[in-house]
Amino acid sequence: MRGGAGFLPNVAMKAGSRRSIGVPNYFSRGQTMTLIKRAAIAVVILVSACIGLAAPEAQAQAQYSVGDRVAAPIGAQFFDSVIVRVNPSPLSYRVHPLGFAPSADFTANPQMLRPLGSVQVEPWGGIKSDPYLRGAK
């Protein structure tokens, strides 16, 4: 084999040669870099346009605000809960079930929450020192 390449038996290889792997070069080095830069710019513009089109949908109006009481699902049951934080993008709520430890807080999508009184809720948890529970009474 010529050139010492086991996978290209009949191609003479020279170290540092542009044609060392047998690929034709249609563009000079400067033209190739310009094409790569243009392609990268096109990708950035395309991604920006896609994000821009999705942004109005992602910035939906929040139905609840911090401190509002809601019925939040935990498993198949709903619990009396309070909104602790509103995450604007994507819209979600940090929810604290009343009477439970702070470690029970969870993030809920707007579709998961119900207005208090629209569904049957379970009684409060047994932690009487819950600061949200004291504020809700």
CATH code (residue 89): 2.30.30.140
121 within domain boundaries = yes
| DSSP code per residue over the chain | --TT-SS-TT----TT-TTTTS----S-HHHHHHHHHHHHHHHHHHHHHHHHHHHHHHSPPPS--TT-EEEEEETTEEEEEEEEEEETTTTEEEEEETTS-GGG-EEE-TTT-EETTSS-EEPP-S-TT-HHHHHH-
118 within domain boundaries = yes
86 within domain boundaries = yes
Across the chain, what does the average pLDDT equal?
Answer: 75
49 within domain boundaries = no
How many domains, the chain? 1
The domain of 96 spans 69-136
| pLDDT digits 0-9 by tens, 4-44 | 555 555 555 555 555 555 556 666 666 666 767 777 776 76
Q: pLDDT higher for 114 or 127?
A: 114
| pLDDT digits 0-9 by tens, 34-55 | 767 777 776 767 776 656 555 4
